[in-house]
Structures are given as structure tokens and as C-alpha cells.
Structure 1
Amino acid sequence: MPFPIHRGRRLRSSEAMRSLVRETRLDPAQFVLPLFICPGEGVRREIGSMPGQYHLSVDEFVLECDEARGLGIGGVMLFGLPESKDELASGAYAEDGIVQRALRAARSQTRDLLLITDVCNCEYTSHGHCGFVKDGDVVNDVTLEWLSRTALSHARAGADIIAPSDMMDGRVGAIRKTLDENGFEQTPILSYAAKFASVFYGPFREAAESAPQFGDRRSYQMDPPNAREAMREIEQDLAEGADMVMVKPALAYLDLIHEARTRFDVPIAAYQVSGEYSMIMAAARNGWIDQERAMMETLVSIRRAGADFVLTYFAKDAARLLA
């Protein structure tokens, strides 16, 4: 049998050659950096389970936004840690809430960086669940009122994109209606449409101080084995008015990112979550893995699967490497 005419190695012979024929490319504009905002001033406190990530006071958050903009990062996602919590998640929709203050502060400094807000209640409730709890269960429709109020308060404070992450049924429609009725019909919604009840959120619980005080979130976040249901959730959120959809987590759900890309002609985001980040960081710090290569390889895999943009705690490191 004659030697093959086509030798695959011809196009792998040098970095210049590999770059020329590379199929999937990364750009800092495709990254969104999640940030955690806390009370105080001059606070920059490292999160123990997420090395290199911090709780930031509003003034430090503004500085972080300036750095992200300078690196060409597409946007930041805001998570708030309130001064106090209660059963009604009142800090989530208070006009002087931590996220609302951060939005106004950042908006006064720049218009060039997209400010995206996570709309949920778990960081703000005393019990750590994502909505109004009655008889040990989260009441769906009451929670929609909280979410709509929060979304409106964020839009008024300067949010560019509203991103509900609670997984309540009907929340996209409720938020869209509230925004439209109050003059924010041009504010897009990025829905956490396929958000799974994942073990990979573990470090986030510390970062957002949002661990449930009882039970878990499996009655409203999705069951990991269910792929067809994920597509139904995405389809429903789009029907309710979502402009973009998200699959979360990313690495264990690359098949669903690909399936969503095939089925839906809308921007698709994927969230490389805290556990995915922390595993790479822990392995790198133990000398078991090359941090930069693992970071870039996983980001490429998420983009290759079909995500248009990626929420990742590696956003700044990856942007610097791509510069």
C-alpha cells in the first residue's frame, strides 16, 4: 500500500503553520469575568477555595473593571455580597444594594465595558435558597416578583445585560415584561437557560457566601443526566424573550453546548464555573499540570463546542496570554 498522499504533519510543522490553519480562535472580547462585590472600602480579600479571585469592595471593583477594559475583555458579571440577609432577599432589589451601588460607580467611569448582572436571590436570603421558601420548598411565582424587581433595579442602575440564574419557571417572561413596561425594552436578557445542579459549584458557595442552610437546589436546578430537557428549557426561555442563553457548567456539558449551537441561532454563552477553575489551579499549584496550557485548552474546547462567549475566572490571565 503506497504511503498516504496527505500527511497531516505537514500543517503542524511550526507555530506559524499551526496558527495559519487553526480552526478555533480565542479573543479577550469573548470572555466575561465574574466578580464578587462586598461591603467596605479598600477591600481585596482572596477567596480561599479560588486562588487569584477576590472579594472586592466597590472602589476595588471599579479598578478591576478598568483593568478588564484595558485587557480587551468583553464584560464583567457582578455578584453581590450584602451587608445583611433576610428571608425576603431584600438586599437583591434594594435601590442602594451592593450591586446597584457597584453598577453606578462603574458606569460613572466607563461606557466601554459591558456590565452584566446575575439576577438571583441565594446570596441575599438568610436560608441560602434562590427564592421565597414555604414549608421547606421554594415558591416559584412569588419568587418571580423578587426577580423582576431586582432586574429592574439593576437596569436603572446601569446594567447592560440582565442574567437571571435562579431556574424558576417563567422568570424570563416576568423579567421581560417588567423591563419593557418600565422603558428598558432595549436591555437584553442572558438567561441561564440550562443550569444544572452540579458538584462543580462548590467553591462558588464560599465566594458568594450562598450555601443553602438546608436541603439542596435540585428541585429547581436541572438534573445532570437530562439533555433533552435542557433543550426544552432553552427553547422555552427564548419563547419568553431571552436574547441569549447559557449552559452552566461548561466542561462537563460540552455536548449540550454543541447541541444548543446546532439547534438555536442565537448567541450562546457557557460558564466555566468555580470548580472547573479551582481544579486546574490546585493541580497546577501541586506541579501536576501546566496552568497556562490547561487554561487555554479548556477555553478552546468550550469555544470549539459552540459557545460564542465564555464566563471564566481565567479571563484576565487568558487575555494577557493572547496579547
Structure 2
Amino acid sequence: MTNTAIAVSGLRKAYKDKVVLDGIDLDVRAGTIFSLLGPNGAGKTTTVNVLSTLTKADGGSVRVAGHDVETDAKAVRSAIGVTGQFAAVDELLTGQENLQLMVDLNRAATGNGKHAVARLLERFDLVEAAKKPASTYSGGMRRKLDLAMTLVGNPRIIFLDEPTTGLDPRSRRTMWSIIRDLVADGVTIFLTTQYLDEADQLADRIAVLDKGHLVAQGTSAELKRQIPGTHVRLQFAAPAELEAATRLFPGSTPDADSLTLRVPSDTGTKSLWTLLNRLNENSLSAEEFTVHTPDLDDVFLALTGHTTEVESR
């Protein structure tokens, strides 16, 4: 596989007269985490379905692991793994039996099946629960088992659809650690998530999809810089100091109740030094000094006009 794990150009898909994807371009680098965000109906699930050979595109070019998804779908499927929003485990089987079932269904894994099962149980900390029915597993354990089942065929590209939905904070952190370990081993992750902090924490690059169009792509930091609202927050000890500082910085916003002043800034070092020097020159001293930048929630709302609700299908 080249440095590009997934290459998409001009991807189009429509259902009757409804255009779902209207000329999508993506370039996902190998060994990275790429996150696709978007509100309900944006086209994320359709994108994943096309990339994983589950749905045929109406137009455009899509190559996954160097293979064309339309003309070489079998090769694409041998290189990928898909973990859906809901854990696809058989609750009547034990964790070990679920993994063994995947080994039996995967021709490439049958030669060292027992070893693969043991290795995955250990890797996902499921050894003690291996012989217990999956119906007794917690949500976090089921998600780990589901991802372990996906890894039976040693896929180099994994599509993760909302992998931590419904998990408690500790289980989410565990899943994040597992995802990072996979990437450290060279696996490429294509992630959709309803938690913007998750994309912020994990993704090397993020794309925002809205109404079938990509409205932004970049790193988390790059996307945040596109949105106005970066400011410095100063808190003063007395109303007189707040009033004096307000006069110093035109365009600033004071809050008399909290004795704080919000000063628009690009938060670069030069701007910060200028601000602090002006305070010092006028014998003003802030009790607290904090820098605030837009988060991904702000980016999402500004780009799509929607809240952070993400489609679940």
C-alpha cells in the first residue's frame, strides 16, 4: 500500500431524486486517524458504505488500499475491517467462541486460528471473560470484543462507526488507547463519531460533511483557526480597573458581574505581548489571564449551522 490508504475523487451518490453525495474528494494517509463529521443526513454513512464496498457509487473514483472499490471489490474487502455503531457479537456465544467464529469464516486466519484468538483475547484484556457468554459483558467489553473480531483478518484499514457511543468515560478512554495502539502498528482508522471531543483527541485530520458536500478539511487546529471567537479573558480585582482596561481595548466586552474583560485576539505571541505591555504601561494588573480558542463544537456549528448531533445511520 502506498502512503495513501483511501483516495476519493468526485464521489457522487443519489437515491432517486435525492443527491446524498455531490462530488466528494478525500485523501486519507496510511497509518493515520481520519474522522468524518456531519449532522443527520449529511451523507457520512453512505460514504462509509461506498468505501467499504457495501454500496455502489453513481460517479467518481474510489480507491481503498490501492484497489478500485468497483472493479476490485474483493481485494478491498480483504484489506479492510468494519466495526459498526452497534456491537455485532452473538450474545449466546462466549467471547472466545465469537472470535473463533470469525476465524472460521476468515480463510486467511484458519492456519493459526487458536493463536489468533488467544492473542486477541489478551490484547483486549478479555482473557478472564473469554468463556463467559457475551450477554454478560458490559458495553465496553462488547465494544472491545467487536473490535477484536474485526481484527481477526489483520485489516490494514478499519472503518469505525461511533465506536464509543454509550460507553462510560473510563471505557471510552480504554477504547481511545486501543485505537491509538492500532495506528502505532500502522493501521489506518476511518472514524465517524458523535463526540467532537473524540475527533479532537484522536484524529490526525478531520472532514466536515454537510448536505452531501465537504465544507471543510484539515487538522483540528486548522479548522479551529477558521472560526472567529479567539480571545483573551482578563479578570480584575476592582470595577475601576475593569473600566480602565475596557477603554484601553476598543472592541472588548466587559462583564461587570464577574469583573472580566473579553479581548479579541489571534493569541499569537506578538499580540499577547502587545496586550500585556499595554496593561503594564497603564499600571493595570489582571488577577487572571486565560486564552480561549473555538472548539470543534464552534467549528461544527459555524460550518453546518447545526448542533453536534450526528446521524446514527
Q: TM-score, normalised by structure 1?
A: 0.30
Structure with more relative contact order (C-alpha pairs < 8 Å, separation 6 or more):
2
When Rg is computed on C-alpha atoms for both structures, the one with the higher figure is 2
Greater helix share, structure number = 1
Greater strand share, structure number = 2
Q: TM-score, normalised by structure 2?
A: 0.31
